[in-house]
Structure 1
Amino acid sequence: MPAIQSGKVLVTGASGYAGAWLCLALLRQGFSVRGTVRSTEKGRYLEQLFQSQQQQFAKDKFEFVIAEDLEKEGAFDQAVVGVDAVFHSGSPFHYDAKGQALTKLVHPAVNGTKNVLNSIHSHGTSVKRVIIFSSFAAIVEVSKPVPTVFNEESWNETHAKESAEKGEDQDPLAAYRASKTLAERAAWAFVEEKKVPWDLVTVNPPFIFGPPIHDVSGGAEKLNTSLSIFWGLLHGSKSESDLLTPGGSLVDVRDVAETHVQALRHAQAGGQRYAPTSGPFTFQDIADAVHGDAQGLVPEEWKRATPIGKPGKGKEVVQNSLDGSKTAEQLGIKYKSIPTIVLDTVAALKDYEERKWKPYPSDKVLAL
């Protein structure tokens, strides 16, 4: 399919951590965006958020539609009408699923993906490309020896097989990983079986950090899963011994959003998987960035609560990693460094706390 440089696109899960940044990145690059949200309140939040960026795009470039239940058949039928591309980012990421692994994680991810694709197949006559927000969880195969460098050719089959064996009783973390493999496999199978007139791309990021712009008003307990872990580090949740354990790989939420946009704008992206990453990390690396802050961004009380550990030793931890070179080379993504990711995230969280967690990020956060 040809590259798509303009037009109207659909973003499912638009009110989420990465979804909000994706909508903003698309709007800033001239696209009209329709976002699906679970409530009018979430849609109004996004409208107000994007209106604060009036200097970047016209007021009528963003609209929202309600899709309360991702698993409900036909939930996206109207949403896909008249758009040139679809970004599917609506999928659960949490570990609150003890005894309900299928109900809370696997089925919403798989059925939500199938629902979107069925709606596109039946009603999305103008759609040329579908980009699915998958995960590194669909790539990393735990049966491989450590350290292994994973790339887009790899698939996590272990947790998918375990899901079939354990069902609702699968460990929530393993079930989340299974859900990403099963949902992405379902998408690729759909394309093959239906012989669709559009092409598919998946984006498979690892652990995501970076400043939030979605609705976290009300307090730190409103933060999404990854930012809750980050917030916890700054407030004493980690000990010295926690810092030099494998953390996995990480990427900035803004780089994830840009990867999605560029996957739309590059013709050769069709049929590809992309795994954007700034590289492997440990919480020692994050602590080093916190204590190495020379700009006065980190509040002193946050520094005191963050263990110092053994500065500079994070790179010595043996762990698996993700190769992000394909995304950088084919899509032109320039990854943010770990210190930049950490300090920008700190700046945003500090801004929210200083404003007593009132809704909407400040202009300085949007400018990061």
Structure 2
Amino acid sequence: MMHTIQAPATVLVTGASGYLAASIVKELLDRGYSVRGTVRSAAKGDYLKNLFKAHEPRFQYVIVPDMSNAGAYDDAVVGVDAVAHTASPTTMAARDPQDVIKPAVAGTVNILESVKKYGPSVKRVVITGSCGAIVQPKSGDPVVYTEADWNDHAVDEVQAKGVNVDSVQSYHASKVLAERAAWNWVEEHKGETSFDIVTILPAFVLGPLLNEAKSPSQLNESSQLFYYKTKTEAPPNAATAFFANVVDVRDVAFMHAQAFEIEKAGGERFIAAVAPSSWQTIYDALNSANPPLANIPKGTPGAPISNCAIFVSKKAQDILGVKFRSLQETAVDMVNDLREKEAQWSA
């Protein structure tokens, strides 16, 4: 059975006003698809309609106030050919891990249930996961992660510590449990459905923003962190410590679109990551840009990354054909974009 789709098919994008999701919507519209986005309010939907007005009438939105309610997506999936499920809590600040885990798992299962009942034309569901679902503690110098890894450690931590667990572990556990729920659901409903799934696991996503942010406090968490870290000098040890593999938001959006169009992507997990980074490598990339950027912290130029981990994204390059942007291109474009926004915030 062919599970691929091509433009001008219609794709449902859940959580369409999010940082990554808005770039996925743009990528799909640029390829000639029609997009139906789910948002939590008319204000968020109207912002997107205005952002994508050049593509009217191929962008529409529907309001889904709470994805964790059973049947939340029943109306949204009617008549679409594929789904990009990006909606998930991305906060690292939850006090109770279940505040992140329950909606992440319920939202994922709900979209699959709705497609099964009301989306007979859907051929593929692409689910946005996270490299948080693979970063289990392991030894190595550097530590290397592939799609074969699962971060069961985070799930164990939540079960052992409850509300006392570290919030990053809660977030990682939500990503593991939501993705596992998706794969388990597909296994349980084999033979009852006419679609397959793909999961895409981005590392730390950076790059220009399409989503609405009227102040620094409205930036999503990765953008906010980048905004402040590139304005103030980090202490030497903090600057050179490994903090994440980085990936460009535009490349992750490209991977989602490719995952709909390439048949053998079906049933696969894909890591989306370019290079291990410290804040020092980001400072170095920005300071060596041409033309140079003013007012970027210097740190200790060239200092190596300590405690490095590598996320291997060869599978995405081989199957999805993604050619990742360099850390420098991503960081420069993001600084320039944030500085334009900053000028509007202070205007």
- TM-score, normalised by the number of residues in structure 2: 0.95
Q: 1:346 is matched with which residue?
A: 335
Aligned: 1:185 with 2:187: no
Give the whole-Å Cα distance in 2 for the aligned partners of 1:94 and 1:235: 22
Aligned length: 343
Aligned: 1:289 with 2:294: no
Q: 1:71 to 1:146 in 2, by over 3 A?
A: farther
Instruction: For structure 2, list consecutive stretches of 5 or more residues without a partner in the other structure.
Output: none
Q: Does the 8 Å contact 1:201/1:269 carry over to 2?
A: yes
Alignment of 1:10-159 (within 5 A): 10-51=12-53, 54=54, 57=55, 59-98=56-95, 100-103=96-99, 105-159=100-154
More deviation, 107-116/176-185 = 107-116
% same residue: 39
Give the whole-Å Cα distance in 2 for the aligned partners of 1:249 and 1:44: 34
Q: Does the 8 Å contact 1:241/1:309 carry over to 2?
A: no
Give the whole-Å Cα distance in 1 for the aligned partners of 2:221 and 2:25: 20
User: Match of 2:322, SS?
Assistant: coil
Q: 2:258 is matched with which residue?
A: 262
User: Which one-letter code corresponds to 1:21 in the other structure?
Assistant: S
Aligned: 1:167 with 2:139: no
Q: 1:326 is matched with which residue?
A: 315
Alignment of 1:154-303 (within 5 A): 154-195=149-190, 196-217=193-214, 219-236=215-232, 238-296=234-292, 298=293, 300=294, 302-303=295-296
Q: 1:5 is matched with which residue?
A: 6
Give the whole-Å Cα distance in 2 for the aligned partners of 1:343 and 1:168: 39
Q: 1:366 is matched with which residue?
A: none
Give the whole-Å Cα distance in 2 for the aligned partners of 1:210 and 1:327: 19
Deviation at residue 350 of structure 1 after TM alignment: 1.1
Q: 1:64 to 1:237 in 2, by over 3 A?
A: farther
Q: Does the 8 Å contact 1:216/1:357 carry over to 2?
A: no
Q: 1:90 to 1:286 in 2, by over 3 A?
A: same
Give the whole-Å Cα distance in 2 for the aligned partners of 1:277 and 1:271: 20
Q: Does the 8 Å contact 1:209/1:227 carry over to 2?
A: yes
Cα deviation per residue 1:87-145 (whole Å; 9 max; x = unaligned)?
100001112112x1112x11111111111111111111111000000010111111444
Cα deviation per residue 1:20-73 (whole Å; 9 max; x = unaligned)?
00000000001000000000000000000001xx2xx4x110000011111111
User: Match of 2:345, SS?
Assistant: coil
Q: Does the 8 Å contact 2:14/2:85 carry over to 1?
A: yes
Q: Does the 8 Å contact 1:274/1:326 carry over to 2?
A: yes
Give the whole-Å Cα distance in 2 for the aligned partners of 1:350 and 1:288: 19
Give the whole-Å Cα distance in 1 for the aligned partners of 2:135 and 2:92: 18
More deviation, 140-149/39-48 = 140-149
Deviation at residue 357 of structure 1 after TM alignment: 6.7
Q: Does the 8 Å contact 2:234/2:299 carry over to 1?
A: no
Deviation at residue 237 of structure 1 after TM alignment: 6.1
Q: Does the 8 Å contact 1:279/1:323 carry over to 2?
A: no
User: Match of 2:52, SS?
Assistant: helix
Give the whole-Å Cα distance in 2 for the aligned partners of 1:313 and 1:237: 14
Deviation at residue 293 of structure 1 after TM alignment: 2.9
User: Which one-letter code corresponds to 2:18 in the other structure?
Assistant: G
Deviation at residue 83 of structure 1 after TM alignment: 0.5
Give the whole-Å Cα distance in 2 for the aligned partners of 1:77 and 1:38: 15
Q: 1:310 to 1:155 in 2, by over 3 A?
A: same
Q: CA RMSD in A?
A: 1.5
User: Match of 2:182, SS?
Assistant: helix
Cα deviation per residue 1:241-293 (whole Å; 9 max; x = unaligned)?
31110122110000000000001110100000111211111111111122223
Q: Does the 8 Å contact 2:15/2:87 carry over to 1?
A: yes
User: Which one-letter code corresponds to 1:135 in the other structure?
Assistant: S
User: Match of 2:36, SS?
Assistant: strand
Q: 1:172 to 1:66 in 2, by over 3 A?
A: same
Give the whole-Å Cα distance in 2 for the aligned partners of 1:148 and 1:290: 26
Deviation at residue 146 of structure 1 after TM alignment: 4.7
Give the whole-Å Cα distance in 1 for the aligned partners of 2:233 and 2:165: 26
Q: Does the 8 Å contact 2:4/2:123 carry over to 1?
A: no
Give the whole-Å Cα distance in 1 for the aligned partners of 2:21 and 2:246: 17
User: Which one-letter code corresponds to 2:343 in the other structure?
Assistant: E
- TM-score, normalised by the number of residues in structure 1: 0.90
